[in-house]
Each structure stands twice: as structure tokens, then as C-alpha cells.
Structure 1
Amino acid sequence: MAEPEEIQGIPAPEGDTQLIDTDYEIGQDNLEGQLGPFGFDVHNPVFMVSALTIVAFVFYALALPEQASAVFGWLRPWLTSTFDWFFLGSADIFVIFCLILIVSPWGAVRLGGTDAEPDYTYVGWFAMLFAAGMGIGLMFFGVLEPVYHMAISQPLGTPSPFDADGNLIPENVARAKEMGLAATIYHWGLHPWAIYAVVALALALFSYNKGLPLTIRSAFYPIFGERIWGWTGHIIDILAVFATLFGLATSLGFGAQQANAGLNHVFGVPINTSVQVVLITAITGVALFSVLRGLDGGVKLLSEINMGIAALLLLFVLFAGPTLMIFTDFGQGLLAYAKDIIPLSNPIGRTDDSYRDGWTAFYWAWWISWSPFVGMFIARVSRGRTVREFIICVLLIPSLVCVLWMAVFGGVAIDQVISDPSGSLVKANVIDSYNPPLSLFAMLEGLPLSSITSVIAIVLVIVFFVTSSDSGSLVIDTITAGGKVDAPVPQRVFWATFEGAVAIVLLVGGGLGALQAMVISTGLPFTLVLLVMCWAIFKGLRSEPR
């Protein structure tokens, strides 16, 4: 999933804000933390409840691994099959809500007040939205997902291009390729970015225009009033912490498995849980080092280098592969997405359970769990934009980046599978044996300089791993510190450490299934938070001058 570059690298906005007509500052005093042991700026009870619950979860999974594995193995399929309609329907609501705001008079409201000027130029702003769209998720799923949907999951009942014996069925190829890309674009296009836009708009509106702290509870002031400073607000922020932590742990788990697969492919390192635990431990240590080094000497520099390397790898695959076919597939995939977006979004009456439950429901829970993380990043860089401008750009710019990445990496992989079914390593690892972490390296093996590009891919995964851990610890720390963006370093060290610990115990306790189960179980209640947030945004915008 996407992880933005270091959030604290963006200066806190300055300027006048339009305060809600209330004595909110008195209530806000309740969020002021107390300097506790080890230099923690503790915001009770959000910090303590979140921290103690997560510590208890880690000890439970380590003490009773077999029981934990059984619970995780049951939880994921039950949640997706039971609540798939809820996740799909909610995501549809977020898209519709954003589209309504674009065409409504409230689209003219300016974030930061009527006289606010953008903090960044269009070029800089677009670059940071681009950064928010890049991450471990694109590395892990860029090859795997288009090929899998083309051949196995069969969205909307689209026939596979292969028969039961693995032989190609020529008359099914064109539609299967088209649907493989369209179904992938659906998961990385308007719907997920509408989820991020809702959270980002809420944070920006109530922080810049209303003068409230930069934390999730602030968005609910129009509904709950002063109660957001009490347990109503505490529960909202605690849910945000859980959702963000387990969403991040899932990404770290995916990254560890992919890095392990790459090291095995290039250097022969064995693939097992022990190696992945070592990887998570070592990379979490690097993330802690970047926390101690600070922004400029740590993750900001790594993030900038990583983005450059990712762009170079994208261009290499584009021009080393069938370039003309990639551009053609990109256009055809977008057209197929536009044509099939309504049936793909339909939450009821579907028969493609493998796709709807196994992929879409999980994805929406995962994106929702990441929404406080990426939403806070987007909010921090968007002061001075109108609501209309904000939503259009947040929906379109990162979506197009994600679509281009999937079209390039997935398009090349699909071409390899169709052109040489018997010799394609992608087909062997995705379709025949289903080895997701190895799919990217299998695709690169079919291109020139694979020994070099595979090492580059491993480096990209690892550095995305580091930046996501460090940035994620900042977001969780901001929420648990009552909206402060400068909480003490020991707190970030604590959260970065426990992000790695949670990823480890989930991998040990049930592998990818456990990671996905916890994302869905935390994403489910937070979906309700986002639905109520839409109403709060509407109420907040009504009081704004246009």
C-alpha cells in the first residue's frame, strides 16, 4: 500500500484560521499530554489504551501461536464473506460523496480560509501526491494482480485464457487481458483515493479552517461537539491508531516476504519465516536509526533517492519491454475500467466470490486502515487549495500514477505469460504455483539485466519498508499525542518498534492470512468512522464562506 515520504518534512502551516464559535480551546487542553517516564508526552487515555492493547496482543500471539494461527485463519474469510457488501457499498459512497463535492457550491471553499495561499506550487504539490501513491503495495502487486485477475479470479465471470491443462484459449485472450488490467485499476483508482480524500479533506478543513488539532477526532466536532474531548473522541482516535498500526504491519509483512523472495532469487537465501523475522527486525532497526538521525539526515533523503530509483525502474521496464503494447494496454485498460466500473462496484448479486471477497473486500479494508496515515500527509501539503481543486487532484494524480505502474509491470508480465506460456516464470509463479512474493522478480528475469534490476527491486522494497515504518510511527504518535506534530523522539521509537513487533507476530502466527485478517478486523469499525466523517464534512462546509 502507499506510503508517503516523511510527513514531518512538510512544515506546519502558518496563518490565520477561522475558529469554530466555541470555547474549544478549553476542551483542547484535555489533549495536552503529560511528560511521563522515558520522555513520553503521554496523552491519556489514547496512548495508554492503544499501547497496552497492542502489547497484550503481541504477548498473546507469541504465547499461544497455534491458537492465534487458528483464529487468524478463520477470521479473514469470515469477515470478507460476511461484510463484503458493506465494504463495497461504503467505498461507492465515498466516491459519490467526492464527486458531489466537486460539482457543488462547497467546491469553492478554500482550505485555510478565503485568503489562504497554497503552500506549494502545482509541480511541488503534484510531486508529493505522486509520492503518496508509491509504496510496497505497488512493488508487491504490480505484477501479481493483473496476471492473477486475467487467469484465475475471473472478475465478473470473465473466462480465463487458459484451459484446465494450462493450454492457451486464443479467443479468450483479448477480453481476459482487458479485464485483468481493468480489475486491477479498480483496486488502485478512484475508489481507494476517494477514501484517502475523505480523511485528508476532513483533517485539512477542521485543522486549517476551524483551528482544531490535527487528529481524527477533530472532524467530528460538528456532530459531537465538546464530547470529542472526552471518551467519544478517545474511542475515535484509538480506532484510528489500531487501523493504522495493523494496516502498516500488513505492508511490512508483504515487504518482508517480497524482500526474502528477492534475496532467494538473487543470492539463494532460504525462504522461511525465520529469515523474514530477521529482515523485519533489521529493517526496523534501520528505521529507528533514521528516527534518531532526524529528518534531513535520515528518511527524507532515503525517500527522495527511492522515488528516483522507482522512476528509473519504471522507465527501464517500459522501454525494455514491449513499449507499444504497454501503451495500448494502458489505454484499453482505462476504457475497460470506465466501462466496467459500475458492475465491479456492485456489492450484491455477484458470483465472482474469489475476486469480490478475496481481493476487493480486503483491499477496501486495507486502504481504509491506511487512510489516517496517507490522509494526514495529503492534508499537510494541501493548505490553500479549494475543495474542488483538492478532490480532483487527489483522485486523479495518484490514480494515474498507480494505473501507469500497473500497466507497465502488469502489462509486461501478461505479455510474457501469453507469448510463452510454457516458459514464462511469471506463469509458473503466479498461475501454476501461486508464489506472490516472487512474481516481480520472475517478470524481471524475462528482461535484460535481470541480475541488476532484481537487486534494485530488493533495495526499493527495503527502503519503502524503512520510510513507511518511520512515517507511520509519526502518524500514530501524532494521533496518540492529541494532534501534536512534534512529540518526543522516544515515543516514535516506541511505535516504530511495536510496528515491527506486530508484523513479526502476525507472520509467525499465520503468515499473510493473519496480516490480512487483522487489517479487515480493524478496517471494519473504521469504515463506520469514515461514513460518519462524510456527514461531519458536509456540516463543516456549510458554515464556510464561499
Structure 2
Amino acid sequence: MTNDDDPILSPGQDNTQILGLDFHNPVFPLSALAILAFILYALVYPDAANTQLTTARGWSIEHFDWLFMIAGNLFVLLCITLIVMPVGRIRLGGDGARPEYSTMSWFAMLFAAGMGIGLMFWSVAEPVAYYTDWYGTPLNAAAHTPAGASAAMGATLFHWGLHPWAIYGVVGLSLAFFSYNRGLPLTLRSAFTPILGDRVRGWFGHVIDIVAVLATIFGLATSLGFGASQAAGGLNYLFDIPNTIGTQLAIIIGVTVVALFSVWRGIDGGVKLFSNINMVIALVLLVFVIITGSTLLFLNNLWDTTLAYVSHIVPLSNWIGRDDTTWYHGWTVFYWAWWISWSPFVGMFIARVSRGRTVREFLTAVLVVPTLVTIVWMSAFGGTALAQSAAGVGELAGGISDVSLAMFQMLEHLPLATLTSSLAILLVLIFFITSSDSGSLVIDNITAGGKIDAPRSQRVFWATLEGVIAGILLYGGGSTALGALQAGAVATGLPFTLILLVMAYSLVKGLWEEQRRLVLAKAAG
């Protein structure tokens, strides 16, 4: 139930209307200017930008590894606590609110926006990389041994299981609660209202929203740029299509055009449609790998992977006295910074499509269900890849030569390799489309002051800008410029960690106040 009092913030408050656009001032213009300035700098001085931002990223990871790890652990514990506490019965939007989307469509959108694209590449590449000591091994487990295989699967699940989804869950629940139950705009600053009051309308709120926009669009543009390179590599591997800048730009243009169509149609006609298509194709591919890769092997992998995750989650969550520092910083802490930098985008999109769900239902769907699905996915793809590597089958026996090709190298040794690899490429491209589409909706929300019905032309602007940034950097600066962009996005993980910790406190405060209000209202009859 929305408060009767006028909120400190309201959607579209302080907005400016120019040339048919309806944007928040100064978030929209300052975000656009900051993006333009960075792109120009990365194009003119790609090496310097890459060096500086990579240094900043490395410094934050090396000196604040403890902060990333503590925060990640706290978010998992908080989400589990909220699921079992009485506040879990609070409904987002009030007692009369009902979900806008079916459970399957809702889950499909959560997964597609959250990490579907990453699982396509890393479900094979990551466990094989650990098993073959490509860049260190988790907990210094011996490579090419059963213990090393167990550590490899446990560490992979650790990076893609409860912890990242807890980060998304805290952000998504905070935004959904303060927007739907307190009548505040669907934007990051709203989550700090219980602590800062009307000061969220000032520069503190502006800075939070601007940094969220930059982290989101840089992360999406980086993924699109690197993803185009990976998809082009797959096309070259399968069909001998030249992996050139022209091919990569064609992929970016194609993805952007379809994303524009999707974003124009909105969530129902765009993101939901493509997310459902994603889930069908992913399910077909998953079932195929389970059957052709040996169903018995999959069932054994499922049990072993679950045990590996459970047995390794505590030592991998530790940040004190680690002996595997190179691996720990290069993988775990990097991942935590990356997930946190993506949390404004994924969290806000999850909030956008979750009105009408209870807190318990929300967190179960965001935290528990994706983790269980990831265990199944990793057991099929990662387990099959590890079996091939251990048996000396194919190119994976020698480790990882190219992350973008690992999935195709695994599928090559199963039946109908060309067909399944083509499905994998199609799935990757559709995941890119849903990420671009949902990201454009999120950025538009923030830059429109929390309005969810801003002009379509604004969503088109941001979707186009993502493709333009990726294409320009890829063409003008190559992987160096894209690397700078990625390093910049990851570097925002440090300040966002502090922001998320404050947000978590604000969420707990707000939920407990709401629970107390509901109890008093029920007692009053």
C-alpha cells in the first residue's frame, strides 16, 4: 500500500521537456556528456585509458578484496534471513497488488537479464580453465586430478550461484519496495530516502544515478563489443566466415537493430518475447547435451557438482590468509566487482517486472531458483567439458586457448555439432538483444527521473547509443579501448559496494517499519 503522504520524490519530478524528450535534469545531460567525454578519450588515447583504468581496477581489487568478500557474504545472509522472516509476507505494491507476468515469463526475464549470456561461455571455459591451471587453481587444488575437478566445479558454481544473485536481489528488492510500497520513483536514489530524507533530491542522489547510468551503459557496451568478437569467432570456427572488424560490426548492427525493434515494443512485446524464446532454445540445448553427453554422466555430475559447491562455499568465501592470491584476485574478487557494477542494471530491471510478488517469492525466485538452474546447467556443460578434458578428447584436453570457442569445442565432440553450435550462436545473439533491451529500459528509467512511461524515443536513444559505443570503440580502438571500458565499469564496483551496503541497511529499516505498520493495522481491525 502506498503511503497517503506526498512522497519526497515523485516520478518525473524536476524533469525537463525538450524536443519530445522527458528527462531528469541534470542526470540525463550529465550522463550523456560523461559518456561522450570518455568515448573521445578512449578513442584518442586507447592505451593510456586502458592502462589508467586497469590500474584503478587492480588497485581496488588488491586493496579492498576484504570489502568485496564481506559485502558478498552479507548480502547472501541478508537475503536468506528475509526469506524466512515474517517480512517475507510483505507484498510488493501492497496487499491488493498482483503479478503482471506469469511465473515462467517472469523467471525467463530475470535469468536473461541477470547472467544468461555469461553462462553460454563460462559454463565450459571456467571449469576447464581451473582444472588445467590456465590462470591458477582455486584453493591451490592440484590440476588434472579428481580433487582439482571438484574444486573447479565448486568454484565455478561459487561465482555464478548464490552470491551474485544475492547482490542483484538486494538491489532489486530495495528498488521494488521503495517504489511500489512507498510511492517513490523507480530509481536508485529512492532506496536512500529513509536515511537521507529530502536530501536525495540533491547532488548525492544525482551522483548515484549518474554513476549507475555510466556503469550500466559501459557494461552493456563492453559485453556487446566483446560478444560480437566472440560470436564472430564462433562463426569463423564453424563456417569459415572471416573474423574481421567488418563481421563484428555487422553483428553489432544486427543486434542493435533487433534490440531497437524490441525496445520500441516495450517489455511485453520485446523483452518478454525474446526471453521466452531464449528459455526454449536453452532448454533444447540443455536436454540435448544431457542425453548425448551421457545421461548417467550428467546425473553423477549433478550430485558431484552440488557436493562440490556445498563443500567449497565456506573456504571460497574466506578472505583471510588465502594462499591462492593470484587466482582469488583474478577470478573471485574480479567477479564480485563485476556483479556489483552490474547490479543497478539487473536489480532495477528485476524490480521493474516484479510488482505483485511477495518479498519471500521475490527472493526465492531471484536467489534460490537461478542457483538450482545454474547447478543443472553447469553439471551438463561444465561436467561434459571436464570429462572430455580429463579423457584427452579434443582441444579442451590442452586447456583453454580461446574462451569464445570453448563451448563450440565441447559441442564438436557430440552428435549434430554444426546444428547445436548454430543454436548456441543464436542463443548468444538473443541474449545480447534481451540485455540491450532491458538495459535501455533501465537507463531510461534513471534518466527520466523514475518514470516508466517516458517517450519511446528516449529508449531508442539509449539502445542506439549502446550499439554506437560498442561499434566505435571496436572499430577505433579495438580490444584495447573495450578493455578500458570494461576496466572502468569494474572499477565502479568499489564505490557501489559502499552504496549497496547502505542500501541494504535502508531496505531492512524500511521492511521492518512496513511490517510493524501491517501488524498494527491488523490489530486495529
| TM-score, scaled relative to structure 1 | 0.87
Provide the secondary structure at the position in 2 that maps to 1:543. Answer: helix
Contact 2:263/2:441, CA 8 A, preserved across alignment: no
Question: Is the Cα–Cα contact under 8 Å of residues 133 and 402 in structure 1 kept in the other structure?
Answer: no
User: Which of 454, 458, 483 matches 1:487?
Assistant: 454
Deviation, structure 1 residue 81: 2.2
Kept in 1, the 8 Å contact 2:354–2:362? The answer is: yes
Distance 1:302 1:385 in 2: 22
What is the Cα deviation at residue 229 of structure 1?
1.6
Match of 2:147 among 153, 162, 175: 175
Please state if 1:331 is matched with 2:303. yes
2:3: which partner in 1?
Answer: 19
Which structure 2 residue ranges, 5 or more long, are not aligned? 520-525
State yes or no: 1:464 paired with 2:431.
Answer: yes
What amino acid is the match of 1:224? L
* 1:497-508 matched pairs, under 5 angstroms: 497-504=464-471, 507=474, 508=478
1:48 matches 2:32: no
Cα pair distance change 1:463/1:541, threshold 3 Å = same
Identify if the C-alpha distance between structure 1 residues 342 and 200 changes in structure 2 by more than 3 Å, giving closer, same or farther.
Answer: same
> Could you tell me which of 421, 439, 455 is aligned with 1:454?
421
Q: Distance in 1 between matches of 2:482 and 2:371?
A: 26
Contact 1:186 1:341 in 2 (8 A): yes
- Distance, in Å, in 2 between the alignment partners of 1:204 and 1:322 is 43
Q: Give 1:525's aligned amino acid.
A: P
C-alpha separation in 2, matches of 1:543 and 1:460? 44
- Seen in structure 2, the aligned counterparts of structure 1 residues 487 and 282 have a Cα distance that, compared at 3 Å, is same
User: 2:206, 2:50 → 1: CA distance?
Assistant: 30
Using the TM superposition, give the Cα deviation of residue 299 of structure 1 relative to its aligned residue in structure 2, in angstroms.
5.1
Aligned to 1:93: 74
Deviations 1:224-243 (A, max 9, x none): 00111222211111121122
Task: Give the aligned partner of residue 484 of structure 2.
Answer: 514
Shift of the alpha carbon at 1:410?
Answer: 0.8
Give the corresponding residue for 1:402.
374
2:319 equivalent among 342, 347, 351 = 347
* Partner in structure 1 of residue 225 of structure 2: 253
Q: Distance in 1 between matches of 2:116 and 2:262?
A: 18
Tell me the secondary structure at the aligned position of residue 454 of structure 2: coil
- 1:428-481 Cα distance to aligned partner (Å, 9 max, x none): 4x44xx311111111111111111111111111112112211221111011110
Structure 2 contact 112–435 (Cα < 8 Å) conserved: no
1:353-502 equivalences under 5 Å are 353-420=325-392, 423-428=393-398, 430-431=399-400, 434-502=401-469
1:144-155 to 2 correspondences below 5 Å = 144-152=125-133, 153-155=136-138
Measured against aligned partners, the alpha-carbon deviations of 1:110-147 in whole angstroms (never above 9, x if no partner) come to 32224444445655554554545552111121210111
1:12 corresponds in structure 2 to none
Aligned to 2:497: 527
Give the Cα–Cα distance (whole angstroms) in 2 for the partners of residues 443 and 456 of structure 1: 14
Q: Identity over the aligned pairs, expressed in percent?
A: 55
Partner in structure 1 of residue 83 of structure 2: 102
Query: Contact 2:114–2:346 at 8 Å: present in 1 too?
Result: no
**How far apart are 1:304 and its partner, in Å?**
2.6
For 2:161, the aligned partner's letter is: G
Map of 1:167 onto structure 2: none
Q: For residues 245 and 282 of structure 1, do their structure 2 counterparts lie closer, same or farther at Cα, with a shift above 3 Å needed? A: same
Counterpart of 1:160 in structure 2 is: 143
* 1:87 CA drift (Å): 1.5
Secondary structure at 2:355 match in 1:
coil
Give yes or no for contact 2:189–2:200 (8 Å, CA) kept in 1: yes
Look up the match of 1:240: 212
C-alpha separation in 2, matches of 1:66 and 1:394: 39
Change (3 A) 1:305 1:128: closer
Q: Are 1:34 and 2:6 matched, yes or no?
A: no
Q: 1:217 aligns with which of 174, 189, 202?
A: 189
Distance in 2 between the 1:352 and 1:230 partners? 44
* 3-state SS of 1:42 partner: strand
Shift, 1:53, TM fit: 0.2
Runs of 5+ consecutive residues of structure 1 not aligned to the other structure: 1-16, 162-171
Contact 1:130 1:401 in 2 (8 A): no
Query: Whole-Å Cα distance in 2 between the matches of residues 411 and 156 of structure 1?
Result: 20
After superposition, give the CA deviation of every residue in 1:86-131 in whole Å (9 maximum; x if it has no partner). 2122111111222222333333333222444444565555455454
2:509 — aligned with what?
A: 539
Task: Go from structure 1 to structure 2 and tell me whether the alpha carbon gap of 1:509 and 1:411 turns closer, same or farther (over 3 Å shift).
Answer: closer
How many residue pairs align between the two structures? 511
Q: Deviations over 1:366-401 (max 9, x none)?
A: 212222222223223433333233323321111111
Match of 2:523 in 1: none
Partner in structure 2 of residue 166 of structure 1: none
Question: Is 1:64 the equivalent of 2:48?
Answer: no
Secondary structure of the residue that 2:323 maps to in structure 1?
coil
Q: 2:252 aligns with which of 280, 291, 310?
A: 280
Paired amino acid for 1:156: L
Tell me the SS of whatever aligns to 2:132: helix
How big is each residue's C-alpha offset from its partner over 1:212-271, in whole Å with a ceiling of 9 and x where there is no partner?
111111111100001112222111111211221222223223321220111111121333
Structure 2: distance between partners of 1:292 and 1:392: 31
